[in-house]
Structure formats: C-alpha cells, structure tokens
Amino acid sequence: MRRREWLRSVASAAVLLAATGCANGSKKSGADVASDAAEGTGTSGDVRAALPDGVVSRRFGSAKITWIRDNEEGQMRANQMFVGADSTRIAQWAPEGGVPTAIAAYLVEVDGKRILIDTANGKPDSRLLPGLAALGIQPEAIDYIYITHFHGDHLGGMMKEGAPVFANAQVYVSAPEYDAWMTSPALAGRRAQAEATMRAYEARLRKFAFGDTLPGGILAMDAVGHTPGHAAFVVDKCLIGGDFVHGAALQLAHPELCARFDMDVPKSVETRKRLMAYAKENGMTLAGMHLPAPGFIERW
C-alpha cells in the first residue's frame, strides 16, 4: 500500500504516529495507534486519570509531563508551507489535505516544582490557562517558565492586557536567543512583543547557555536554526524540541524539508537530524509544540 493511501486510512492522531514508523522497523496498527492517542496510553509510563480534551499527561522517571493544546483540534499545515524538495514530491509524501499540526505548551511537574515549557500564543481563545485550571493549577502556582524561542506562539501566553500572567515564575531563555532578538538589526521590526515581554519579567529573567542544567534537572540543548537561539529541553527520557518540526507526519520521514518560516534552513535541517538521532540513540520520546494529539512520539 502506498504511504499516502495508508495515511488516509487512520484518524488524524493516528496519522501522526503511524506515519513516523518504528525504530525497529515494525509498526503498530492504525487502530492501536489511534487507541493509544485517544486514551493517553503508550510505553513511557502514562498517567491514565481522566483529562479534558487537548490535555495529555505522561510520566518520565520522576517527572510528569503534560501536553496542553492551545488551539482547536484539526488544524492542518498546507503542503506549500514546506521547502526542500519540488512541490510534486512533497505532495506525494504528505497526507492528503495537509499535514496535521497544533499549537501547544508542556507542563513539567518534577521535584515539587511546576515548569511551563513555552506558553503558546495567549490569544483570547487560548486553551492554556483553562488546561492548567483543569489540572488544578493557577498561573501563580507556576514556578518556572522555559522558553524555546521568541516567536509569538511560544511566549505570547506570558502576557495579558500588558501585564504578566505568571506572577511568581522565574523565566529562563537562551542567551543567544535573547541577544539576537534584542540587538540584531535583522529582527528590529519583529522584536516589539519579545522586548515588551522580557521587560515585564526582567526582575525574574535568567539567561542560560546550551548545555546548562536548569532547575528540575532539565538539560538545555542547542536547537538553533528555526531561530538564532532556539533551545530544546531534555526531561528524563523526553526531548521537547520546540519547533524542530512543524509537520511531524512529513518531516520526521523527510528531515531535509523545512517550513518556510525557518530562519536558517541549512541549520534547521542539521538540527532536526541531530535531535532525532540523539533521541533515538538514547531511547527518548519526542515532543514538540506543533505536534497534534497526543503530543508525544515514541517511535519514528
């Protein structure tokens, strides 16, 4: 059966995982993958308590990681948004109708602390705060915020009506990302949101270098390419890669493809291949802010 035909045969959540394949060459059936996605089950030590739609929790060692979808389900990214091969070939590789995607953030609960990795876009219909509330968590209970990069769909949720949303959180950003957005002439016309957000959290702002271990024992990794200082984070056996992919059902099988808004295309390709290899070599689950449900990929 051709790849494209097979992709059409499963539900959108199953499309994501099944399209990525398995490290050992075997695949779960579409029904098995869809069941895992719907129930929040798998092999990484899952939390099976009832959760609202768009919220999936899994355990990794002593950490609980929760994917919180910020937008409506069913979002697709058009094939035309990807570059790196001719359009005919991309259309052959991609699921019919576009590539499943989402906007999301991750909550990490470890060592008695609550850590948000990114804050999504903060638009009026954002589901981040309702998702946290469904978990019994108010904004003031967040201890740390780790930002992968400075695009609005990642730090937008930090502010509401010009004021900080997370009153007690210390904010960690990569030094290269901060420096690029605050000083680069190339980003002068795009820095207003990032600049205002960093100013609002200035007293609680911390800059890290790649390779640093942050509170909670979380490793900050170099994931430069999509933006000049993009970071990924390793939590036990989970690698949260930010925007290392924008369409996993397409890019994990073809990492040479980039979204048009990757700022450094060659570096983005190198980073994607490196993170995928690192995760596979270390038996890790992949996570990312544009993965559709269930927000985690265990095999590809």
The pLDDT score that the predictor gives to residue 21 is 37
Identify whether 294 is preceded by a cis peptide bond (ω within 30 of 0). Answer: yes
Q: Which of 95, 85, 122 is closest to 247 using CA atoms?
A: 95
pLDDT digits (tens, 9 = 90+) for 30-62: 333 333 333 343 345 555 456 778 999 999 999
Q: Would you call 289 helix, strand, or coil by DSSP?
A: coil
Q: Is 124 helix (H, G, I), strand (E, B) or coil?
A: coil
pLDDT of residue 75: 79
Mapped onto helix, strand or coil, the DSSP state of residue 131 is helix
The model carries a pTM of 0.85
Range of the domain at 289: 3-297
Do 225 and 119 touch, CB atoms closer than 8 A? no
| Termini Cα distance of the chain | 19
Q: What's the mean pLDDT when you consider all of the chain? A: 87
Q: Are strands 170-174 and 163-164 parallel, antiparallel or unpaired?
A: unpaired
Q: How far apart are CA 32 and CA 55, in angstroms?
A: 20
What residues have CB less than 8 Å from 183, skipping those under 6 apart? none
Please tell me the predicted confidence (pLDDT) of residue 279: 98
pLDDT at 2: 41
Here the CATH number for the domain that contains residue 78 is 3.60.15.10
Tens digit of pLDDT for each residue in 178-189? 999 999 999 999
- Which residues of the chain are modeled with pLDDT < 70? 1-50, 73-74
What is the tally of structural domains in the chain? 1
pLDDT for res 47 = 55
Query: In degrees, to the nearest 5, what angle opens at C-alpha 221 toward C-alphas 215 and 227?
Result: 115
